[in-house]
Amino acid sequence: MDNDKLSHLFFSLIYSFQMQTMMSLGKIKNPVTDKSEKDLAAAQMTIDIIDMIKEKTKNNLSEQENKFIDQALADLKLNYVHESSNKEENKEETSKKNKEESKEENK
């Protein structure tokens, strides 16, 4: 296979993983269900797979391919941190609300 085709396939593979991760983060709708669904464990797994691909292809990628995978990982990791911190905030708010409701019931 020539380098152009290999490069195109590489970009397609990373882009596919990137879109799958964004679906798992609830950032884009699943085209099958037409719903936004959040699965942080699946998102983390896909990010780890892209990290593994980066490690296994080290010193074997063009500059453009390196930039693409680095940018994809940076974007996905930032979105993952944002979504996981939102999850923690939602847990805290729910816990606080439950405590307040419990106090009201005990009065």
Question: What's the pTM value of the predicted model, to 2 decimals?
Answer: 0.79
For residue 45, what are the CA distances in angstroms to 17, 40, 54, 56?
10, 9, 14, 16
Answer for the pair 44, 80: CB distance below 8 angstroms, yes or no: yes
Sorted by where each begins, the domain ranges of the chain are: 3-106
Q: What is residue 76's predicted lDDT score, i.e. its pLDDT?
A: 98
Q: How far apart are CA 83 and CA 43, in angstroms?
A: 10
φ, ψ of residue 62 to 5 degrees: the values are -70, 165
Both tokens of residue 95?
């816990």
Contact at 8 Å (CB) between 40 and 91? no
- What percentage of the chain carries pLDDT values higher than 90? 74
